[in-house]
Amino acid sequence: MATEIPDPHELHTALQTAALRCSERCLYHSAKWAAEMLNSLPPLTLPKEQLLQAYLHPASSSASEAQLELQELSTFLLARSYFDLHEYDRCSFVLERCRSAKAHFLRLYSRYIAGEKRKDEDSEMVLGPLDGAVTGNRELQGILVELEGIFHDRGLADLTEDDSWLLFLYGVVLAKQKNEAQAREILIKSVGLYPYNWAAWQELGATLSTLADLNLILHKLPNNIMTNLFVLSTNQELYQTTDPIHQQLTDLLHLFPRSSWLQTQRALLHYHARDFEEAETIFDALTKSDPHRLDALDHYSNILYVMERRPKLAYIAQLASSTDKFRPETCCVIGNYYSLASEHEKAVMYFRRALTLDRSFLSAWTLMGHEYVEMKNTHAAIEAYRRAVDVNRKDYRAWYGLGLSYEVLEMHYYALFYFQRAAALRPYDPSMWQAMGNCYDRMDRPSDAIKAYKRALISVSPPRSTPISQSNIPTSLTTAPTAARGFDPAIMVAIGQMYEKMRQPKEAAKWMEACLLEEETNGVTPVSGRARMWLARWEFVNENWKRAAELANELCQDGMEVEEAKALVRDLRARLEGERG
Amino acid sequence: MSRYLTPSRIVLLALVELYAESRFPNASVLPVVSFVIKHLVHPKDSSSFVLSLEEIQAATSNQPSAVVGRTIYDLLLKRLWDINSFDALHTFFTNLQNYVADPEERGKTRDRKPEDSAVLHRTSILGCFIRRASLEFTRLLFHDAMALWNSFARFREPTLNKYRQRNIGAGSTSFDINLKGLSLNDPRVQKIYFNTQDSTAYMVSTNDVERLLEFQVDIMQRMGTRVPDEVQDRLRKMMDTKVPIPSLFHYVEFLNAWRAGDYPGSFDNLHRYFDYTMQNRDRTFYQYALLNLSILQADFGCYPESVLAMRETIKVARDHKDMACLNFALSWLYHFHKAHPRECPEVISSRMEWDSLQFLKAKAKEGGMHHLQSMAHLSEAKQILLSGESIPAAFECLLRSSHLNVSKYIRNAMGSQILLQCSLWSRLGISYLARLNCQVFLTKYRADSPMEDVVKAMCRDAYIMSMRGRAHQALDYLDNLDQDALRSLKIHQYWAAYVGLIKLRRAVLMDEFSAAELLLQQLSSLPHIEPDCHLELSLTRLDLLVRTGNFPQALALSAQIHDDLVRDNADVYHRVRVMVLRAQIFGACGRPLKGLSISINAASIAWKARLMPAVFSAFHAVAGILVTLEEYQAAYRMLDCIMPQVLECEDVYLAAQCFAVLADIEVGLAGKRMGVSRDKCLHNALDFLDRAFSHFARIQDLQSQKQMISRKTRIQDYLGDKSVRDDTVKMYRQLQRGVLQL
């Protein structure tokens, strides 16, 4: 991954050109990203004697192409102004006869956008009958045919920087048609030819669903600073929160010291590692430095939601709302606030609004699923989660939500599949494993359940650096722990119960004992009470009266399961007296 | 922007909360809770619309609370400043529900300790307030709720100093807990709290404006006045806060324009109002739109249009089974028919006979519309009077109406009833009672009655005064009328007609003929004039013609007036009076025999209807004619027996005329006798002339005064009492020069 640090002047020029080129081709978000990165660089002293290349118009590097662009400049300007006014069909029509690569790209891109716009219009209501896969982008096929024609004629070998844009579009269209492997190849090609198109990187990232995928393509990527940024953001999206990644981020921050994007990445890494305090601090600083920034505020609101900081969440919602009421991020923040205030109908309303504004807004789909679960509308929840997963397969919360919803519907086998997907994305999150164990239990597969539960126990404190595969259960847990280690007693009780089911009561007793040991850290809880009750009965069956009486009396003192314990005490007393008698 | 919630309502909610938590000692409960309720219920006066911080402070800062040493205002401030973020506001509204008793959870109230909160009943005023407020808050979208919070923070800001006295740590940003450690100039604070362009948003809610408008419409409809300037100012201020303007505003504008006599304006506004409200709350308001339109048209004199609209109203109301509207329309059409018989098409006239009134009465009774029923009784009484039928029957109707008004507490119908009663008394010739009625109404029912009735009563009062010969006083009385009331065009015209009439009569009597001509011209150009006024005007015009000696025209005019009255089936009283005057003109122009039959005819009609003043003036005319026929004895007997009642009528002019005729009779009698009895008759005549003179002097009738004196000089001349005669001649001269002091 080690790329050499680029020359600051060159980086400056490259980013400036990138911003200009992207905005010239109406890739607004890429242009914004490039410009933000550019401005986060430390300021440079500019040479006085000559104007920078980027300051003049960034023409193509090849002379013939530049000549073509010059000839078609007026048409291109017309087309661009149409595009800016959302008259996409007109834009592509005007460019019909142009031959330069730039014009070509804009023509096809505006066709693509026109198709997307029509698709959104035809989808009608969010979660309505026409929403979703039923309504597609009808322009895709035409664009694809045309692009295939171009690249078939010229071959993929001798392409120039100018063709990278068309390749990017090719990749996008392929990805839309679920032709992911090919899309990935094409996009790699595109970023290889021109690495400063952030949109291409993002599309590439969307085609990767596991860390293994990323590792596979790493060697094909260009040797450029952009690759580092890409790898970082992809790792973040794949929930990799290991130290090397933090280190990489720190290095990049040296290069782009004021980059709010990088700061956001850092905050998200902390968030994934459940280090909410740290993430909150970073986001706080971000809002302070740029109060009008809405990007990634939805994540910030998720953090505050988990921390249950209602006043602060309301404050962020106010901030966002006074910037722009009609941004999906704002709607998500407000939706989160209402969700925390237990006004689920309103929350759903705001998430729907977010989705009406942008159907591919991932967080809104997932969060809406959560709200539907709260409102006991399981079917709607499943649909919402499903859409979230369709948008982005890397969202473990959506997978987990799907699993939970199916569990509510008593469809455990199905639920299991989704929990597995979630656990694959978040191998160190105990709740996934616990849910999986629960499913196995319901399906009468206690041995699998035990494995899952044990996995849940150890993932509470994951080893940070060494990656472990899923099937690997650490040897330390083949038997019950003999000292308090800060494990979750509920899981231990569950394991005990599984052993009991497998008719291994001794093993079960060990786990129950282990659970009692945890009282050191957690204190007496209903769960430990249950374990104690179980043990008391166990001792009772084993005719170990004295210990049984001890445990039952403790139960009576703690006030847990009192009635049952009292009954047991009476029984024990009778037996003890009977023995004496 | 806001529908219901405003910062001041939040303050009221906080007060209700404190009350529900029993933080008020018993003594403070009444003043503070009534202060709260005053701002929730239907407004009684114009002070309870937009609540300011000062009013709240005034209402609470003198009331001790249950906490020793703290006033309720202190507790309220604490409560308000505890709402220290948007989220706290949200929580505040969520917790409000706890103060309202849930009927389903009545059994589960064990966990709620009775001593710490008095739970409000769901249907109590405060309970409804809380429920409405929480519902409205739930309805708010986020940015609306945010705007409410911002304006609340702004509203509360002036109390910061007071709050700081008890809470030292409070700073300039302590209104939001999230801003701790930030300065007011921080971009985030600026963005959230100072970004909004319009700081007055959410200070006034649509509900406030609606309440003010409803109150205003109520006043305008009840009193028939225009919008006072002060209220108009306030309305404009409220509209400036960008609240959505309720359509009722156009109705207020309509009423205002109507009263101001602005026909296009009122027409336009009426249409605008109904365009916005035609289909409201699943009801059609088409019939009401038509009804208003019809009344408007009639008021501006477009009678055919008005009748068409009203017929449409009746049809639509019948289709919609809207009995209230239907009955009102029928009753209106009945009155319209009475007022403008010529404009009414045949179809309607034929139906609008006696039985339609019976129908109206029955319907009103059936529908429990007491106001309408009372009005129908009055109409019946009026009809009886107009057609000159039995007086007891009229009294019965009046009593029925009065009973309804009193027992059903219909205060605004009192005016019409008392005014009718007043005119009944004056027709019976008991002007003292008539005047008393006017005064009772003016002192006791003025506040609740339509301005129109009040002005009518005052005009009537003034007219009676002028009949008694106190025209100056009457004019002063009318000049002192509340100028605000006269801003309504119709009322102003009515008032102007009476003022003009009184001035006109005075001018005619004082021989100021050119002034009288001018006044006559002005008065006859007034567009809408009451029938009563109209008749007086015609009579005065006749009088003027007679006085200027233009008999042919006077005769022609009287004939025309009489024919008009007969054609319109008009009031019998009016007809009789015209007949009497006509007889007098005949007498004056030397054709007494022609006058005799007319006046006897008039007397018999008047007697049948018990129109005593008319009977007396007819007698006077007959007596005058008898004098010219030299039937002195008969004439004397006729007048002698009615004289006490004539004096009781308190109509100075009539009494003066009677005395003058009596004097003539005595002179005539003297001519037939000899010696002492002749002298005695002549002295009697002198006596009567003196009395006639003093009466004429009271109404300043110059011409008659001169006549009396000249007759006196002739008698004195005959009697040979030179010195007395010279005195009288001197008096005549003085009179002619206008310097006679009595």
Q: Which of B138, B171, B194 is the last residue of a domain?
A: B194
> Tens digits of per-residue pLDDT, B641-653?
899 888 888 888 8
- Chain A residues with CB under 8 Å of B85 CB are 311, 314-315
CATH number of the domain that residue A526 is part of = 1.25.40.10
Q: What is the torsion angle, in degrees rounded to the nearest 10, for the CA atoms of residue B487, residue B493, residue B499 and residue B500? A: 140
Would you place residue A577 in the very low, low, confident or very high pLDDT band (cuts 50, 70, 90)? confident
Comparing CB atoms, the residue among A287, A323, A334 nearest residue B142 is: A334
Whether the pLDDT of residue A199 is over 90: the answer is: yes
Is residue B219 a part of any domain in this protein?
Answer: no
Q: Lowest mean pLDDT of A109-113, B203-207, B416-420, B539-543, name the range.
A: B203-207
Distance CA B306, CA B288 (A): 14
User: Do the Cβ atoms of B192 and A343 come within 8 Å?
Assistant: no
Query: How far apart are the CA of A314 and the nearest CA of chain B, in angstroms?
Result: 6
> Tens digits of per-residue pLDDT, B254-279?
888 888 888 888 888 888 888 887 76
Q: Is A310 touching B (CB cutoff 8 A)?
A: yes
- Chain B residues with CB under 8 Å of A315 CB are 85-87, 176, 178, 192
Q: Lowest mean pLDDT of A134-148, A305-319, B38-52, B521-535, name the range.
A: B38-52
Is residue B23 a part of any domain in this protein?
Answer: yes
Task: Report helix, strand and coil shares of chain A as percent, to nearest 5.
Answer: 70, 0, 30
Q: Which domain holds residue B181?
A: 7-194
Distance CA B398, CA B421 (A): 7
Place of tokens 């009439």: B501
Would you place residue A165 in the very low, low, confident or very high pLDDT band (cuts 50, 70, 90)? very high
Size of the A and B interface in Cβ pairs below 8 Å: 55
Comparing CB atoms, the residue among B94, B138, B192 nearest residue A319 is: B192
Is residue A421 a part of any domain in this protein?
Answer: yes
- Chain A residues with CB under 8 Å of B88 CB are 311
> What is the per-residue pLDDT for A315?
92
Q: In total, how many domains does chain A have? A: 1
Distance CA B99, CA B20 (A): 7
Mean pLDDT of A500-512: 85
Rg (CA), chain B: 36
> What is the per-residue pLDDT for B116?
47
For A156, the token pair is 């993929």
Would you place residue A269 in the very low, low, confident or very high pLDDT band (cuts 50, 70, 90)? very high
Mean pLDDT of B509-520: 88
Percent of chain A scored above 90 by pLDDT?
Answer: 39
Cβ neighbours of residue B616 under 8 Å, at least 6 residues apart? B429, B642, B645, B646, B649, B654, B658
Distance CA B163, CA B181 (A): 19
Residue pair A139/A115 in contact (Cβ under 8 Å)? The answer is yes
> What is the per-residue pLDDT for A12?
86
Q: Which domain holds residue A479?
A: 415-580
User: Do the Cβ atoms of A312 and B192 come within 8 Å?
Assistant: no
Higher-confidence residue: B378 or B486? Answer: B378
> Tens digits of per-residue pLDDT, A296-355?
899 999 999 999 999 999 999 999 998 899 999 999 999 999 999 999 999 999 999 999
Amino acid at the residue A209: S
Query: How far apart are the CA of B196 and the nearest CA of chain A, in angstroms?
Result: 9
> What is the per-residue pLDDT for B723?
87
Which residues, numbered 543 to 562 in chain B, qualify as contacts with chain A under a Cβ-Cβ cut-off of 8 Å? none
Distance CA A325, CA B696 (A): 86
Query: How far apart are the CA of A311 and the nearest CA of chain B, in angstroms?
Result: 5
Percent of chain B scored above 70 by pLDDT?
Answer: 92
Please choose, from the candidates B528, B572, B575, B540, the residue with its C-alpha nearest in 3D space to the C-alpha of residue B339: B528
Pick the residue from chain A with its C-alpha nearest to B92.
A341
> Tens digits of per-residue pLDDT, A231-249?
999 999 888 888 889 999 9
Q: Is A317 touching B (CB cutoff 8 A)?
A: yes
> What is the per-residue pLDDT for B201?
67
Per DSSP, chain B holds a count of helices (H) and strands (E) of 36, 2
Residue pair B689/B659 in contact (Cβ under 8 Å)? The answer is yes
Distance CA A393, CA B658 (A): 116
Comparing CB atoms, the residue among A314, A319, A325 nearest residue B188 is: A319
Query: How far apart are the CA of B150 and the nearest CA of chain A, in angstroms?
Result: 10
Higher-confidence residue: A365 or A6? Answer: A365
Distance CA A301, CA A320 (A): 11
Would you place residue A83 in the very low, low, confident or very high pLDDT band (cuts 50, 70, 90)? very high
Which residues, numbered 325 to 344 in chain A, qualify as contacts with chain B under a Cβ-Cβ cut-off of 8 Å? 325, 334, 337-338, 341, 343
Percent of chain B scored above 90 by pLDDT?
Answer: 9
> What is the per-residue pLDDT for A367?
93
For B616, the token pair is 């007396």
Positive or negative, the CA dihedral A519, A522, A526, A530 is negative
- Chain A residues with CB under 8 Å of B192 CB are 315, 318-319, 322
> Tens digits of per-residue pLDDT, B336-348?
877 777 776 666 6
Please choose, from the candidates B411, B431, B410, the residue with its C-alpha nearest in 3D space to the C-alpha of residue B422: B431
> What is the per-residue pLDDT for B121?
84
> What is the per-residue pLDDT for A551?
83
For B110, the token pair is 């064990």
Average pLDDT, chain B: 83
Distance CA B450, CA B255 (A): 14
> What is the per-residue pLDDT for A266?
93
Cβ neighbours of residue B140 under 8 Å, at least 6 residues apart? B5, B148
For B21, the token pair is 């938590």
Residue pair A200/A229 in contact (Cβ under 8 Å)? The answer is no
Higher-confidence residue: A347 or A162? Answer: A347
Mean pLDDT of B317-335: 82
Give me the long-range contacts of B417-421 (CB less than 8 A, separation at least 24).
B417/B374, B417/B378, B418/B445, B418/B457, B419/B453, B419/B456, B419/B457, B419/B460, B420/B378, B420/B381, B420/B382
Cβ neighbours of residue A192 under 8 Å, at least 6 residues apart? A164, A220, A221, A222
> Tens digits of per-residue pLDDT, B557-598?
999 998 988 887 778 888 898 999 888 888 888 888 888 889
Distance CA A348, CA A332 (A): 10
A451 HSE (CA, 13 A, CB side): 8
> Tens digits of per-residue pLDDT, B451-483?
888 888 888 889 888 888 888 888 898 888 877
Distance CA A374, CA A361 (A): 21
User: Do the Cβ atoms of B192 and A322 come within 8 Å?
Assistant: yes
Higher-confidence residue: B662 or A549? Answer: B662
Whether the pLDDT of residue B545 is over 70: the answer is: yes
CB neighbours (10 Å) of residue B724? 15
Q: Which of B147, B162, B194 is the last residue of a domain?
A: B194
Is residue A500 a part of any domain in this protein?
Answer: yes
> What is the per-residue pLDDT for A326?
92
Is residue A139 a part of any domain in this protein?
Answer: no
Is residue A530 a part of any domain in this protein?
Answer: yes
Mean pLDDT of B164-188: 78
User: Do the Cβ atoms of B90 and A314 come within 8 Å?
Assistant: yes
Q: In total, how many domains does chain B have? A: 2
Q: Is A323 touching B (CB cutoff 8 A)?
A: yes
Q: How far is CA B633 from the centre of its chain?
A: 51
Q: What is the torsion angle, in degrees rounded to the nearest 10, for the CA atoms of residue B331, residue B332, residue B338 and residue B340? A: -160
Query: How far apart are the CA of A335 and the nearest CA of chain B, in angstroms?
Result: 9
Is residue B112 a part of any domain in this protein?
Answer: yes
- Chain A residues with CB under 8 Å of B86 CB are 311, 314-315, 317-318
Average pLDDT, chain A: 85
Mean pLDDT of A368-385: 92
Q: Is A307 touching B (CB cutoff 8 A)?
A: no
User: Do the Cβ atoms of B87 and A314 come within 8 Å?
Assistant: yes
> What is the per-residue pLDDT for B45?
67
DSSP state of B525: T
Comparing CB atoms, the residue among B88, B146, B187 nearest residue A318 is: B146
Which residues, numbered 124 to 143 in chain B, qualify as contacts with chain A under a Cβ-Cβ cut-off of 8 Å? 138, 142-143
Can you tell me whether residue B282 is helix, strand or coil? Answer: coil
Positive or negative, the CA dihedral B78, B82, B84, B87 is negative
